[in-house]
Amino acid sequence: MSVRTSTFIVLALILTILIPSSSAAAQVPRREEWGEKFNSAGAKLTYKEIDRTKMQGRTVITYSLFATGLPKDQHYVLCVLNIGSEPRGVTDAYLNEDGKVVNVLADPARGVKEDPINAKAFGGKGEPIQFALVSDDRNLRAFAEIIPFPVEDTVGPCHLSLIETGPYY
């Protein structure tokens, strides 16, 4: 798999992606600044499951990320926060016309194809993986939390969801 494919596998506690540049590292929000409450006004980062596959006996889920309420003519850094890890900037990101998060925008005149960022995730039950899209000046940002394998139950009017908040449960 080449770096150009921008396909990333987010492991339970290990993130093996690209080493961010020092400028990307400056854009990564501190752990205390994560979550939807830190979204820019009107901004939202969402995800859509696009595939499930088995890899070495584990189910790997692939997601596409989409942003609304953010300008499409900006450069962003895609950041990831896993339980037990520090937030990391993982790659440059842009928004296509549909708001899809991509690594490279299409430029048909120059023969450049769009390069979508597909987040591949697996982990424990109830384990969240958090994503952030942050502009160069850190003023524009949107956050999303994905729980690939939720722990939920509903009985009558009651609904219970469990989310892992620390490593190793």
Summarize pLDDT for 87-100 with one digit per residue, the tens: 999 999 999 999 99
Tell which residue, 103, 115, 93, 83, has the closest CA to residue 15: 83
Residue 44 lies in a domain: yes
**Structural domain total, the chain:** 1
Residue 168 lies in a domain: no
At 164, the pLDDT band (50, 70, 90 cuts) reads confident
| pLDDT above 70 coverage of the chain, percent | 84
Residue 169 lies in a domain: no
Residue 49 lies in a domain: yes
Residue 167 lies in a domain: no
Domain of residue 26: give its range.
3-162
Residue 70 lies in a domain: yes
* Averaged pLDDT, 6-31: 49
* Averaged pLDDT, 145-156: 92
Residue 81 lies in a domain: yes
